[in-house]
Amino acid sequence: MDIRMIRIDASNTDDGDHPIGCGAFKIFSDEAMEIKRIYTLPDYRGKAVATRIIGELEHWIKELSFNKAVLETGKKQPEAIALYTRLGYVKIPNYGQYAGVENSVCMEKVLKDQ
């Protein structure tokens, strides 16, 4: 399984140069990558770190000639669902291992050239 990961550092903060968030993606289909494991340290939540991570991942996905991103999150993560919705993701039927999982929410976004 080929997984690519990005790390965001605190280089533009007073806290020094250490990781404050990360995210990864893997091949989902011929046209889509699946975004995995978006994480921001608690002290940095609400400061657009996750938005930056997702933006970097989407840029990288487009560079690799994929035109769609899919992801899964949980119904008990309303902040994540709100973030993904704000960023243009729409709910889709649960796919793959999440099909039939009541607590999963699957989403996708068509990536357009900016």
| Residue 103 confidence (pLDDT) | 97
| Residue 12 confidence (pLDDT) | 46
Q: For the chain, what is the radius of gyration of the CA atoms?
A: 14
∠ Cα 100 105 111 (to 5°): 125
Q: Residues, the chain, total?
A: 114
- Alpha helix (H) ranges present in the chain? 49-63, 78-86
Positions in the chain short of pLDDT 50: 11-13
Q: At what angle do helices 49-63 and 78-86 cross, to 10 degrees?
A: 50
| Residue 15 confidence (pLDDT) | 57
Instruction: Provide the 3-class DSSP secondary structure of residue 21.
Output: strand
End-to-end CA distance of the chain: 29
Quick one: CATH architecture of 3-110?
Answer: 3-Layer(aba) Sandwich (3.40)
The pTM for the full model equals 0.85
| Residue 18 confidence (pLDDT) | 75
